[in-house]
């Protein structure tokens, strides 16, 4: 029984695979779902199959309303007689239909961005799919990862939707260009009444003329067909095809731009969160220093100015903490704006404190430059623009050649003429005309010459722009390459700096407890520790940003190519979650070394 269902679904998928317009991602998803459908439909419990169907229906997003037309036609051709009557023919028919519908992925921006890694695929997907009409809302209770935010941004950000519509417009322009290969068939119906003078000799007409009035009804069909134009239509179609590929490349570039903005805002938010943690750790450190100074004051080993100085450092730490908290909330708003939803601080992200840090480059600078030249969508778009400009030159030059046209018309002409002298008969007869014409423009005041010159100028401009973009891509790769290596060394130096500053502060505080150092040394070490924490946070965030920037400038962002960097073991948070040294506790075993302070001094 189960094997029979597998054969049925296999026949359906083979029919679908014969159509080139069906994306492979749809076929793969339908195959996976049909395997589950065959198992459940062959079971003895229709309730299990029914529950599975409605589970898939609830999991699909807009799969019913945005179903591919070819799939819809194939599903409609299924007959109930081809299914065994185990669970009822009506339920089997409905089961097959609903399972195939729920296998379909949603048609929208996220689908195109998922499968469109080349300009041709992006242009084709944008031409056939329809973007989602609603904007997704963020769930304040959900913790979003970077991948989830990028996926939301590709579907919701206005920049990707604008690029989507432009790619769709370019596809429609290609359809307009191809339509010139077909004849133009038009129909019209004329209802006319004409009064005119018809000259006649006087022996036949007393006045030498006859006044004739002719009411007429003429339904007509006309045909205009351009048979040959020496390559002008072909050049226009090639130019429109190149423009379509350029629009597809721009669509990929728009998605990469949005993904880079989201990734930058994501890591900026992580930076602000870690700075907030560093500010809180600095506040705890300052409070520890204040507690130590107040304890030493009570034991007569410190002065009131020292305590006031320590309290001032604590107040400064409170101020820095509040500033960091405000910057963190602003970073949340910036991230939601980059995603394309309503800007709001109500978003929770995965802190990614254990994410592996980039450790080294996976390719040389020459390999990275070669990858950027071959993979960057903006360069691919500009190369397509050059091809379009070259085709425009061909079309402009073809205007110097003649055109061969076929023209024809067929009508049913009905006339009811009347004359003031004599008698005329009515007529209702079919009429037609046909002509094969050669049209050749001889003189046009220099219009064709100027069109050719303009097209050649656009071609040269596009070539110069491509050279400029290649130089810009090379510069950006070098900048990202140097920036990543610098960020890597800064991260290593920041780790050592944080360890040294932490040890320096601990040693200074211990020495202050024993009276070896004064409070100024402790406050100096405290400031160095706070600066080291901020440097560690900044270096870690900068390393992630430089790694993303390197993928972006080489055109590998959102693609499946090998990464430009390698990663090490999971990293540790930039600010260690440890408590600062505690203030000394009075002990009866410690004899006082000085008298108690008097009068607050």
Cα 579 from Cα 410, distance rounded (Å) = 95
Q: Are strands 184-199 and 209-228 parallel, antiparallel or unpaired?
A: antiparallel
Long-range contacts of 559-563 (CB under 8 A, 24+ apart): 559/117, 559/375, 560/117, 561/371, 561/375, 562/362, 562/363, 563/362
Residue-wise pLDDT tens digits, 563-588? 888 887 555 554 443 444 443 333 33
CATH of range 113-132+140-181+232-401+466-601; options 3.30.450.20, 2.40.10.120, 1.20.1600.10, 1.10.238.10: 1.20.1600.10
Residue range 549-568: mean pLDDT, rounded: 85
Q: Token pair of 428, please?
A: 């209702």
Query: How many C-alpha atoms does 10 have within 13 Å on its Cβ side?
Result: 6
pLDDT per position as a tens digit, 36-67: 444 444 444 444 444 443 344 333 333 333 33
pLDDT at 115 over 80: no
pLDDT of residue 597: 35
pLDDT tens string 228-253: 999 999 999 999 999 999 998 998 88
Report the DSSP beta bridge partners of residue 284: none
The secondary element (H helix, E strand) that includes residue 27 is helix 24-41
Q: Is the per-residue pLDDT at 385 higher than 60? A: yes
Quick check: helix, strand or coil at residue 428? strand
Q: Which ranges constitute the DSSP H helices of 118-181?
A: 119-128, 146-156, 158-178
pLDDT range class, residue 509, cuts 50, 70, 90: confident
Q: What is the pLDDT of residue 83?
A: 39
Q: Is 432 helix (H, G, I), strand (E, B) or coil?
A: strand
116 pLDDT exceeds 90?
no
pLDDT tens track for 144-182: 888 889 888 888 888 888 888 888 899 899 999 999 999
219 pLDDT band (50/70/90 cuts)?
very high
pLDDT in tens, 268-321: 898 888 889 888 888 888 888 888 888 878 877 777 887 888 888 889 889 989
Structural domain boundaries in the chain: 2-107, 113-132+140-181+232-401+466-601, 183-228+403-439
Query: Token digits for 468?
Result: 């400029």
Judge contact between 135 and 176, C-beta under 8 A. Answer: no
Whole-angstrom Cα distance, residue 68 to residue 77? 15
CA distances from 372 to 259, 376, 378, 486 (A): 17, 5, 10, 21
pLDDT band at residue 5 using 50, 70 and 90 as cut-offs: very low
Average pLDDT of 514-521? 76
Closest CA to 71 of 94, 91, 90, 98: 98
Indicate the average pLDDT of the chain. 77
In the chain, % of residues over pLDDT 90: 31
Q: How does strand 565-570 pair with strand 427-439?
A: unpaired
Query: Which residues pair with residue 378 across a beta bridge?
Result: none
Q: At a CB cut-off of 8 Å and minimum separation 6, what does 68 contact?
A: 21, 22, 26, 104, 107
pLDDT top residue among 204 and 9: 204
Q: Per-residue confidence at 131, pLDDT binned at 50, 70, 90?
A: low
User: 319 and 280 in contact (C-beta within 8 Å)?
Assistant: no
């Amino acid at each position: 029984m189960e094997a029979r269902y597998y054969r049925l679904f296999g026949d359906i998928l083979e029919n679908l695979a014969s159509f080139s317009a069906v994306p492979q991602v749809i076929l793969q998803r339908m195959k996976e779902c049909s395997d589950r459908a065959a198992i459940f439909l062959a079971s003895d419990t229709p309730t299990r199959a029914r529950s599975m169907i409605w589970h898939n229906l609830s999991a699909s997003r807009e799969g019913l309303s945005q179903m591919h037309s070819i799939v819809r036609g194939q599903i409609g051709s299924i007959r109930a007689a081809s299914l065994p009557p185990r669970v009822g023919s009506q339920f089997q028919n409905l089961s097959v239909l609903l399972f195939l519908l729920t296998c379909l992925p949603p048609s929208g921006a996220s689908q195109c961005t998922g499968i469109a890694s080349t300009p041709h695929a992006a242009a084709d997907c944008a031409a056939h799919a329809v973007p989602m009409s609603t904007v997704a809302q963020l769930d304040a209770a959900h913790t979003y990862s970077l991948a989830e935010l990028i996926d939301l941004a590709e579907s919701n950000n206005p920049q990707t939707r604008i690029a989507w519509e432009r790619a769709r417009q370019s596809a429609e322009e290609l359809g307009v260009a191809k339509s010139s290969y077909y004849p133009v068939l038009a129909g019209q119906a004329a209802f006319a009444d004409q009064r005119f003078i018809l000259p006649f000799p006087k022996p036949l007409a007393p006045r030498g003329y006859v006044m004739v009035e002719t009411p007429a009804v003429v339904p007509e069909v006309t045909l205009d067909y351009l048979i040959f134009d020496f390559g002008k239509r072909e050049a226009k179609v090639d130019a429109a095809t190149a423009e379509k590929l350029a629009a597809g490349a721009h669509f990929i570039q728009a998605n990469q731009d949005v993904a880079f903005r989201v990734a930058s805002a994501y890591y900026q938010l992580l930076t602000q969160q870690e700075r907030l943690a560093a500010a809180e750790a600095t506040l705890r450190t300052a409070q520890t220093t204040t507690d130590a100074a107040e304890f030493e004051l009570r034991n007569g080993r410190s002065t009131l100015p020292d305590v006031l100085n320590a309290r001032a450092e604590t107040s400064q730490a409170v101020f820095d903490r509040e500033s960091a908290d405000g910057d963190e909330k602003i970073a949340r708003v910036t991230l939601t704006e980059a995603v394309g939803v309503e800007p709001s601080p109500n978003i929770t992200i995965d802190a990614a404190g254990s994410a592996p840090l980039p450790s080294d480059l996976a390719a040389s600078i020459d390999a990275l430059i070669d990858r950027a030249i071959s993979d960057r969508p903006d360069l691919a778009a500009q190369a397509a623009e050059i091809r379009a400009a070259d085709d425009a030159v061909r079309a402009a030059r073809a205007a110097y050649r003649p055109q061969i046209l076929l023209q024809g018309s067929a009508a049913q002409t009905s006339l009811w003429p009347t004359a003031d002298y004599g008698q005329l008969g009515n007529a209702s007869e079919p009429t037609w005309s046909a002509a094969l014409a050669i049209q050749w423009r001889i003189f046009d005041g220099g219009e064709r010459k100027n069109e050719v010159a303009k097209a050649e100028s656009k071609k040269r401009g596009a070539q110069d722009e491509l050279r400029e973009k290649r130089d810009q891509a090379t510069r950006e790769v070098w900048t990202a390459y140097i920036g990543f290596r610098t960020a890597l060394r800064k991260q290593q130096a920041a780790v050592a700096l944080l360890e040294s500053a932490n040890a320096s502060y601990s040693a200074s505080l211990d020495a202050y407890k024993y009276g070896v150092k004064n409070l100024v040394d402790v406050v100096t070490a405290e400031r160095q520790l706070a600066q080291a924490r901020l440097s560690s946070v900044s270096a870690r965030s900068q390393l992630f940003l430089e790694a993303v920037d390197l993928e972006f400038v080489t055109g590998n962002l959102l693609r499946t190519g090998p990464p430009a960097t390698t990663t090490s073991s999971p990293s540790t948070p930039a600010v260690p979650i440890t408590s600062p040294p505690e203030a000394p506790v009075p002990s009866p075993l410690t004899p006082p070394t000085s008298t108690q302070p008097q009068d607050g001094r």
